[in-house]
Amino acid sequence: MKKRSKGFSLLEVALVLLIMGIIGVAAIPSMQNIRRQEVNKLAKEICLDLVTQMTNQNTNRDETYVLDLVKKDASPTSPYYGYVITTCDSSLNPKPGIKSTERIQHNKNIEIVIKDTSGNIPATPITKLRFLDKKITDAAGNEYKNTLQISLKNDQSKLEIVFYTTTGHYEISVP
């Protein structure tokens, strides 16, 4: 009677490792591509939301739109990874019955930084934008008359958006 061996032969193990290697080689580039596409999608959403808020504010003068960046956690060094747009009255109180627009990433891997590029305002990152009386201002009341620079980055990709605050036009580029 033959004694039956337990376990896998060397050939079976090698074959499984070869198949896993082939799958891994095919999957890694597509995962990197997905991460790049996430940044591109968020860049387009930000631009469209900014243009929409500018247009809405021009037609609804009694409303103010507030864009707040959202942090990953409570740490002061934590990056911003999403934003919420709230429709408010002239006193900046949220209007009842109007749902906020939220663009919050569930995987929290894309960092968002907004800066003024005109040089008139200190180069500190902007965390709140207000759309009021055909103007875009920050929480301190500084008005952005020319352009805003919005940077989006994750471990696979980085994009720069130049948003023209007077016309609502924007340019998306890879630095």
In this prediction, residue 114 has a pLDDT band, given cuts at 50, 70 and 90, of confident
Does the reported pTM lie above 0.85? no
Ordered by where they begin, the domains of the chain are 16-173 (3.55.40.10)
End-to-end Cα separation, the chain, in angstroms: 72
In this prediction, residue 17 has a pLDDT band, given cuts at 50, 70 and 90, of very high
In this prediction, residue 18 has a pLDDT band, given cuts at 50, 70 and 90, of very high
Phi, psi of 136 (to 5 degrees): -115, 120
